[in-house]
Structure formats: structure tokens, C-alpha cells
Chain A
């Protein structure tokens, strides 16, 4: 089992899928000659040539729509958004085209496309380049949305996404591209729609996705020192959502804290908390806790930007409230 970075895991997934299926192409800003703004596509141009690894102009609406058109006509594009912040320019093409063409055509068209790129708070980037936009995509029927939190899932989920016949949005994280982890040597897929219990415990369930899974694990380690045995559930897929795994955990522990780096209102975390409160009502000993980003745009100052985001300490505090150990 090799230890590789999250970035390398994504690269390996695309490399293998392009080798496997000649219909897979990669397009986006700086993906070819520059090797990718975050070097996720490093080396692919040399291997697969300019017909399959395409530098686009800075026109998110245009090349995202072009990818959708290519997908309904037999190609399987991977569209890289330099970040999800810029994908807002392509929102119409994802929400009104990719997600709806199958439906509006009564099942006549398929849209096998992957939209991927970094999402979520980064560092020192202020308001427009540092924000969690997961709920923009998770809201929309017709899309699938995944958020790998470690290299192994990044590899296995991206491969599944490329093979999926529906449009899949992949939420990566700029802050995790360098994270290293064990990835099995052989080829494998991670099924879209399956959460993972990344730490087993009996005292409380911490439910998170993407980068905040790391904070939840840190919080669990802090809690262990206080004799509190937290379980951590990594959703991995936001749409579909693996309620079975989440609810089994909460039924076991009787308490839950949901963590989401997006803003609190209309967020994936808020939805998950609502589902737990509904489905597990009789198993709960406390209201479902929720740790999100503060409801403000991201400031530039580092101390301020950290104050905005979820953290292990904020999760610990939410856990203590849910256990009635602190007000």
C-alpha cells in the first residue's frame, strides 16, 4: 500500500481512467501546458496529448456548457474548475443543463460528466476565493455530489465519478491536496452514496464531510482524553446521502454534532441535522449540534478567517453541550 498525496490520488484516478476509456477527456483552465493550477493534472498532457487534455479560455459558462454538450454526444468529459468559486459563472449550465437534460428529454439523453475542483475555505484569500459552496450542488436533483476527505477516497470516488452515467460534482480541497495517506496499490472504486465510519465510538456521533472530517477526528482525540468516546462518520457522498450509516451511528450514541464548513443556512449540514432530528427523534438525548462557518463572508486576516471556520475546539464545545457537560 503506497502513501501518496490527495493530489496524486486524483491524478492517478484520471490517468487510469483516460488510459482505460478513450472517450474520457479533461478540459479546464491551465490543465494542460501549465500542468494544472494546483498540479492535479500534472503529466497528463504529455501522456494523452492536446486532443484529450484541453486548455480552455477563462470562460466557465462556455467550457462547462461545452462539456455538457460533449457528454450528451458520446464523450465523457472531466471539467476542471480552477475553484468552485468560479463555477458560479457556470451555475446555469450545471443546474439547468447537466442536471435536467435527462429529465426534460424523458430519459432520451445521458450526461456522463464530472465537474471537479477545490471547494471550501483556503488561506489568506478573502471573500471570493475562500468559501464552502457544497449546498449549491447538493440542492439539485439530477446531480450527484461527492466530497473525498482523504487520498484513498479521492482516488476511488473520482474513478467512480468518471464511470458514472450521471453528472457528478467532486468537491476537492485546496488545503488537502498535499495531505498524504495510504492508497491501496491495485485499482479500486469507492461506491458513490456510501458514508464511512472513520472512527468508532459510543458516546456521540460526529458527522462531517470533506476537510472538516479532519477537524472531527482531531476533536475526537481531544475528547478521548476527557473520557468521551466519539464516533466520526465521513459522509463522503452528499447526494445521494447515506442515511443508513448516519442513523445507525446516532441510534447507537444518542447524540450527534454535524460539521459543515459552509454557512449555516440552507446547508448540507443543516439538512443532515434535520434528517437526524426527524429519523432518530426517540433516540436523541440532546438537540443535534451543528458547527458551521460563521454567517459572514471570509475575511483576509488569518486569525479572523480561522475564527470564521469550524475547528476541533468548536466541535469539542458542541459535544460538551450535547452531553450536558457545559452550557
Chain B
């Protein structure tokens, strides 16, 4: 193993641990009712966001995803403080408390959002790729969605458009095998989603979504194709440990099944690889874990101490220019 490889492996481990610890903390805060509504955790799927987004060029590439978006946001470099504050609904949150868990955005980092409608982000992402091509930025766009979204018309319409207009788009299906409570096999005509690419004449590729290195390699290949005007479809087979959302009692699967997948835990698998390469360092791992804990705790402290948004801010961020409202605005002009 080369020294540069070891450095990369440790970086990937660090990025995955940060997401894992952040999500554990978010789950805990949800339990304490600091976070409300829908909260979809990313535990178990870290290798996909870290492997793919880590291979992107953050200066010019763009990322869009669905509502299970904390992991992608962190992998894209978003501030954990701004994310946690957003989950808490605070005015210091990335969307000033208007988006919540499902709608994280950071245009400055090329992260164009968490989208709450299954599959709706796919045509939007293809449009972002259109703008990249039209404006000749050299950038590419990756859009993440689940095994539920791949059956939406939005996916098929968007993939067709990406192909006919040669757009720099990579469509990444994170097949975590459960569309809410429905096993993917029950609702899918084919069990290999990468085959769907052939219907639109684009390259499809299946990758082990628990193997961060495999995902990263696939990302490098796909981004190269995309930049050359050849869109790509990737199916990353993965597994979510948590329920669909926080209120999901997970009656549809057994604890054994979950435990089985934990043996393929992406962090564990990577650690095994580091050990096999003889680059394991217990102290370094402990330091990464401690830093990730501190990051998550710091984000909670920041969110806790942040102010609530004032009522009149409901009238902000609706229109670009002078805002206007139908009816009789109850809180206008008050602050």
C-alpha cells in the first residue's frame, strides 16, 4: 500500500465517522424533541456520499439529493453547525429555519439541496447540468435518489433528456433496499437497476455501496464520462440501519437482518482494509472518533444557543424583489 493511499483511506474513514456521529447525535436530539417532523438518517449509507462526493471537484461540480440529505451535505463540506441549527429550526440554520432536515442547501459549496418529493430532484439536477453545459463551466452534476425514486416518471424523463442533450449528469441510485416499508424487489421489474440505463443508451454501473473505495472508483469513471457529455447511471447497493424516518418501528425487517448488514458496515470494512494494509493506528482512530464526537456535540451546542427566528421572517425568502402577499398579512411590519 502506498503512503498516499493510506492518507486517503484515513480521510475517507474520518468523513464517514463524522457523518455517523452526526446522525447518532441527530437521532438523539430528535428523541429529545429538539428536532421535529421528518428526520431521515443516513447511518449505514455513508460510503456512498463520502465515496462519490469526495471524488468531485467542489469548485465547479454540483450535488443534489433527496430528503435523506445530512450525509451528502456533510460530504459536500457544509457546516455541521448550520445543519444542526437547521434541524433545530433556528435562525442560524442553513435555511434560516425554513427548510429543516429534508431541505439542506449550501449553494456556495455546490450543494443544491435536499428535496422532499421522491424523485423530483432528478429533472432539476439534469437542468443544473444543462446550465453547466450551456455556460461551459466544465462542471458535472451528481444527483442522489433512492430505490423508490427510480420508478418515478421524473427519473425516466430526466435520464432521457440528459442523454439527448449530452448533459454532464451522473444519476446515483442509492438502493438501500427499503422504499419506506416496501422491499425494493416487490416493486421493481428488474433487480439490477443499472440495466435501466440501457433503455436510454447511457452507461449503467452497479457498485457495492458499502465499499467506499469501490464507490470512489466508480465516481471517478462516471464523472469523466459526464464531463465528456456522456451521462451515467450508477446503482449503489447499500443498506440503511435506521427506520425510514424516526417514527418507523421497522416491523418489516428483523433485527437479525440489520445485524447481518452491520457486519458489512462501511466504516468497519474500510478499517479492515486499513488493517490488512498494515496502516492501522489505534490512537489515530480514537482521535478521529473523538473529533467527530466533538463536532457533533459542538453542533448541538451551537444549535441550542442559537435564537429562534422572529415571526416576521416568514415574509422573507419568498420573492427576490419587493415581497407581496395575498390576503391580509398578520405579522407584516413587526419585528
Contact = CB atoms under 8 A, between A and B. Distances in A.
B178 to A, nearest CB: 23
Given A106-B317, A109-B105, A92 B158 contact: no
A141 to B, nearest CB: 6
Interface string A80-108: 00000000000011001100011111111
Contacts, number: 160
Contact of A66 (B95, B112, B126): B126
Contact of A106 (B95, B128, B158): B95
A193 B324 contact: yes
B319 A142 contact: yes
Interface stretch (B28-36, B96-104, B191-199, B240-248): B96-104
A193 B326 CA distance: 12
Interface string A59-77: 1011111111111111100
Nearest to B131: A73
A63 B154 CA distance: 10
B316 A107 contact: yes
Contact of B127 (A66, A107, A166): A66
B120 A74 contact: no
A240 B319 CA distance: 11
Given A96-B120, A106-B98, A109-B107, A74 B135 contact: yes
A57 B113 contact: no
A66 B125 CA distance: 7
Given A92-B117, A106-B317, A70 B130 contact: yes
A106 B108 CA distance: 13
B164 A64 contact: no
Contacts of B158: 62, 65-66
Contacts of A70: 127-128, 130-131, 134
B157 interface: yes
A141 B178 CA distance: 34
A106 B117 contact: no
Nearest to B107: A108
B160 interface: yes
Q: A92, A164, A241 — which one has the most chain B CB atoms within 10 A of its CB?
A: A92
A57 B157 CA distance: 9
B127 A65 contact: yes
Interface size class of A (residues with CB under 8 A): 35 or more
B321 A64 contact: no
Contact of A102 (B127, B164, B317, B326): B317
Given A57-B157, A109-B107, A110-B320, A104 B99 contact: yes
Given A75-B130, A104-B103, 18 more contacts: A25-B134, A62-B126, A62-B153, A62-B160, A65-B120, A65-B154, A69-B125, A70-B130, A70-B131, A92-B120, A103-B317, A104-B113, A105-B103, A106-B99, A106-B105, A107-B96, A108-B94, A239-B326
Interface of B: 62, 93-99, 103, 105-107, 112-113, 115-117, 120, 122-132, 134-135, 153-154, 157-158, 160-161, 164-165, 316-321, 324-326
24 contacts: A25-B134, A57-B157, A59-B153, A62-B153, A62-B158, A63-B161, A65-B126, A69-B128, A69-B131, A72-B112, A73-B128, A73-B131, A73-B135, A93-B120, A96-B120, A102-B318, A104-B113, A105-B107, A106-B95, A109-B107, A141-B325, A141-B326, A144-B319, A166-B321
